Chain A
């Protein structure tokens, strides 16, 4: 494994490397061997009709699903077979397609949980009430405040996350994910169900996240949003990559047009 990692690091300067990943559910292939690499500090989007396997791919990368075949590496180190919490420890953090917050807790506490990996206090120090533990607590609280400001929710910090409007909950999710200080952030339809102006906020937010040096991998259905902020777009259909290129190339790609319009499915 060590030798393998060293070899991978020597040959691949890529951030995220997905090689021949296949997943099938009861004989139906959700992913039929997908390979691609993502360059660091870019926004790469993954599009495709419903059921193309986008979320399955996210699950396979982040350890929520073990691929039947294939290999995922991040910065030259294998992710395949790791548990989600270990994947997060390697700097790869994902959000979820369905709204996913810690509903009964305040926005601040939600983000404080996101900061879990930034804390280091152990149970002994906590039970002894060490000063270092208290200092860390106030530092984390300040970090949480800064993240909440970054996503524009400062006014809502003390409110219960589950009671926030839908759009704000999605922003809380992004703040939670950023709390884990990812170097690669996988966003699963962050703008789904949002109004036009909320989508603009999300666009700006994603560009700001990239500006901070985070690699963004985005699943999104809103073409205007995708084409507006992506450096590169991947198209998935029936579990296979059918196109890969700059936004302008993708919009003109005959296979993509066929996948979206020709197969009978409406543009999503």
Chain B
């Protein structure tokens, strides 16, 4: 199963001739990085960030501005995007020091609101609502990654790296501290788990990953505007994580692919009036029948290979 999926992913540009379909796959890859990053917070520490588009947007703007105004090449700009978003995540983590649950949600929403306003009004830096055109495409030595198939591999590699980062963290004592925070923070504290420290760490890693996704987006679409901060992006990420299966590693990946492809598929078969209605209906049905998400529902069937035996939750 895993081999088939990997082979399909690695050869996709060769059997997908339609550039529009490849575009959907690239967007799915970028959203995979975003969903994985949100899942680290929502699925493992149990804290909902409703300002995740802010980290995405900070990454996109950092990368775009450094390449446009400082003539940086794309790769260091991508790293800088991760650092800038990570720093923003650190600030949010420290701000919400003792805040959990609803308060954490509020802090992240407010943060996203502030960042979005800055991007719209700081004309000198961001060019305001007009956005930043002409963001360069990355190149690898003499080869430009301007083509869709080249960019596809860049995004695929990034998504794989994001998955690996999550996989290693989640299977370690740090990941267990995240889970302990979600499950029972006072008990975790009694055995020496410093909840605040691990929440800050989770927020930093999560934000940095979202920043990378933002940079990938900026250099792919080659144009960014304050739209990258739209609340819609955050909502889409939350849907991907929850519908795919929060607190699992393949869940956000499946969620990202399904919920990137679904609106496009609906657009092809339905008139625009029915697209949102059917999208909403499908979402409600999915949550109703698979409340824990697609991946956990599939896993309870025996033919599905488990990633790690002990992470299976017995009914």
Instruction: State the A residues within 8 Å of B (CB).
Output: 62, 64, 83-86, 88-89, 93-96, 100-106, 108-109, 112-117, 119, 121, 123, 126-127, 129, 133, 137, 140, 158-160, 163, 173, 176-177, 179-180
A121 touches B201 (CB 8 A): no
* B176 at the A interface (CB under 8 A): yes
Residues of B within 8 A of A140 (CB): 173
A101 touches B201 (CB 8 A): no
B interface majority secondary structure: helix
A85 touches B194 (CB 8 A): yes
> Which of B165, B183, B192, B310 is A116 in contact with, Cβ under 8 Å?
B192
* B92 at the A interface (CB under 8 A): no
The CA of A151 and the CA of B82, in the complex, are separated in Å by 46
Give the Cβ gap from A74 to chain B, nearest Cβ, in Å: 14
A137 touches B191 (CB 8 A): no
B186 touches A64 (CB 8 A): yes
Give the Cβ gap from B15 to chain A, nearest Cβ, in Å: 32
Total residue contacts A-B, CB cutoff 8 A? 108
The CA of A129 and the CA of B195, in the complex, are separated in Å by 24
The CA of A84 and the CA of B184, in the complex, are separated in Å by 14
B173 touches A121 (CB 8 A): yes
B183 touches A88 (CB 8 A): no
B189 touches A100 (CB 8 A): no
> Which of A64, A95, A113, A127 is B177 in contact with, Cβ under 8 Å?
A113
Give the Cβ gap from B83 to chain A, nearest Cβ, in Å: 15
Give the Cβ gap from B204 to chain A, nearest Cβ, in Å: 9
Residues of A within 8 A of B174 (CB): 121, 123, 126
* B147 at the A interface (CB under 8 A): no
A88 touches B310 (CB 8 A): no
B176 touches A62 (CB 8 A): no
Residues of B within 8 A of A64 (CB): 186, 189
Residues of B within 8 A of A84 (CB): 186, 189-190
A126 touches B186 (CB 8 A): no
With contact pairs A123-B201, A158-B310, A159-B314 given, residues A113 and B176 touching in the complex (Cβ less than 8 Å)? yes
Extra contacts, 13 of them, besides A88-B189, A103-B183 (Cβ < 8 A), are: A85-B189, A85-B193, A102-B179, A102-B180, A109-B179, A113-B176, A113-B180, A116-B176, A116-B193, A137-B171, A160-B313, A179-B191, A180-B190
B168 touches A126 (CB 8 A): yes
A102 touches B184 (CB 8 A): yes
Q: List 30 A-B contacts (CB under 8 A).
A: A62-B190, A64-B186, A83-B194, A84-B190, A85-B188, A86-B194, A88-B191, A89-B192, A96-B186, A96-B190, A100-B187, A101-B187, A102-B188, A103-B184, A104-B313, A105-B183, A109-B176, A112-B176, A113-B180, A113-B193, A114-B191, A116-B176, A116-B177, A123-B201, A126-B174, A129-B168, A159-B314, A176-B187, A177-B190, A179-B191
Q: Which residue of chain B is the closest to A95 with respect to CB atoms?
A: B190
Instruction: State the B residues within 8 Å of A (CB).
Output: 165, 168-169, 171-174, 176-177, 179-180, 183-184, 186-195, 201, 205, 310, 313-314
The CA of A160 and the CA of B315, in the complex, are separated in Å by 8
Residues of A within 8 A of B191 (CB): 88, 93, 113-114, 116-117, 176-177, 179-180
Residues of A within 8 A of B187 (CB): 96, 100-102, 173, 176
A126 touches B169 (CB 8 A): yes
> Which of A62, A101, A123, A158 is B184 in contact with, Cβ under 8 Å?
A101
Q: Which residue of chain B is the closest to A176 with respect to CB atoms?
A: B191
Residues of A within 8 A of B180 (CB): 102, 113, 116
Give the Cβ gap from B201 to chain A, nearest Cβ, in Å: 7
The CA of A227 and the CA of B188, in the complex, are separated in Å by 31
Residues of A within 8 A of B177 (CB): 113, 116
The CA of A130 and the CA of B61, in the complex, are separated in Å by 34
The CA of A117 and the CA of B188, in the complex, are separated in Å by 11
The CA of A173 and the CA of B183, in the complex, are separated in Å by 14
**A-B pairs with lowest CB-CB distance, top 5:** A88-B192, A102-B183, A84-B189, A180-B191, A119-B173
Residues of A within 8 A of B165 (CB): 127
